[in-house]
Amino acid sequence: MTATPEVDLPDNTTIRNPATGAVAGKVRWTDPADVPRIAAGLRKAQKEWDARGAKGRAKVLARYAVWLGEHRDEIESLLIKETGKSATDAAQELPLLIMIASYYIKTMEKALAPESRPAALPFMAIKKVEVHYRPRPVVSIIAPWNYPVANLLMDGIAALAAGCAVLLKPSERTPLTAELLLRGWLDSGAPEVMAIVQGAREAVEAVVDNSDYIQFTGSSATGAKVMERAARRLTPVSLELGGKDPMIVLDDADVDLAAHAAVWGAMFNAGQTCVSVERVYALESVYDRFVDAVVRDVQNLKMGAGQGFDFGAQIDDSQVAVTDRHVREAVAAGARALTGGKRPDGPGSFYPPTVLVDVDHSMTCMTEETFGPTLPIMKVNSVEEAIRLANDSPYGLSASVFSGDVERAKAVAVQLDCGAVNVNDVISNLMCTTAPMGGWKTSGIGARFGGAEGLRKFCRQEAVVAPRTNVGAGGNYYNNSPKALKRMNKLMTKLALVTPRRAAK
């Protein structure tokens, strides 16, 4: 769920609804000089939070999940005001958080328990090996504007479950819901292991400089800058970055299903989703039927903020300008816009749902992340061509494959260079909290979610090796006699070669 690079706003306190221009609220930016103090307070509170153990933390997270559910209307109303989303789009974020919290409440104790490891060789069986998962004190979540609720806490909940304190840095474009989410954490009786830093570039730099782990969601360019700054202190990072996600429609696909999925996957949240469908490759035999079905579905969409609309505004005019540029450049190069294609007159940062055909990889609409409500569709002659073109991208976040034969679709899926592939669906991998969600190439490093690993990523691993018996203790300490050295070398080589010799037969 990735946003384009953020820029400083002319007014750092007033947030306006991009659909109407109305004031959504005001926020006070944090003085970057205060961030070390905020982080120090979190680091102190984290010790008691960790000491509660998984069971104790699960109870607090459960209370918070209940609070989120009970205040859903309030949260979504504010979300619409500061983003210009439709009510349909706004309704998707909070359930995802509650689902993630529910999953970790049930699994965190087992996932974080010390893990026993077997002896690598028989002579090491005298040792008991355990791996302990120790939480990093302060985890910072640097989130974008496209999903101000989900992107802020989908990893924050996991970090809290792991025993970390969490420092939230929301986008300066959408800071209001973050304040409400923090209020809910404290109102539900949770300790002060969550805090917020508001602001733009200088705030981000201060957050990176005072954290023990960074979870960043945003553009590839900004992610690289975050990683570079974090490297100064060797602070580990997890980056979920941009995408140009392809859909492949095979010749045996359910065309109507594929069209419905393509339209929803491309237009949901006004296309401002890193895992949105940004380009389609349809086999020649189904191309015309697929395009007709897509156009039919798009013509039924209603654009506007709040209730009664399918998708809302883009975050601001700069984002509309990117979308409009990609469309104009494509049309100038020979593409056709079957729907939309031009920014409407009137207020608000809106762009109509636009279906483009006669496109190719010489056009920015097929190669650069648009992050807008466009759907370019390209005709291909073979499955091999579709795979080659899908992989012809610096991005590798997710993809989708549609086919009447699931095994055939899976065979295509494992040839695509990306972190997740949905078969006969789009974006659904985000609901799979047991599987990793991460990108390849310039789409990121590391992963979010991922079952137990979604918690353990926020921990440092500590190996504890203890004796099972006193027999043999000290047997490998210094003994400088030639006889002892010869005996030790012979024994060690013999034991170490047991497995390789067996495997080589």
Residues labelled catalytic: 240, 274
| Gap between the Cα atoms of 466 and 464, Å rounded | 6
DSSP letters, 457-496, are: TTEEEEEEEEES-STTTTTTS----HHHHHHHHHHHHHHH
CA 181 to chain centre: 19
Q: Could you tell me whether strands 165-169 and 138-142 are parallel, antiparallel, or unpaired per DSSP bridges?
A: parallel
| Gap between the Cα atoms of 182 and 188, Å rounded | 10
Token pair listed for 23: 């004031």
Residues ≥6 apart with Cβ < 8 Å to 481: none
Residues ≥6 apart with Cβ < 8 Å to 208: 140, 142, 214, 226, 229, 230, 235
User: How many residues are given for the chain?
Assistant: 505
Is residue 297 within 8 Å of 338, Cβ to Cβ?
no
Q: Could you tell me whether strands 395-396 and 440-441 are parallel, antiparallel, or unpaired per DSSP bridges?
A: antiparallel
Angle at 323 between CA 317 and CA 14, to 5 degrees: 20
Residue with tokens 């918070």: 64
| Gap between the Cα atoms of 431 and 464, Å rounded | 35
Token pair listed for 47: 């010790």
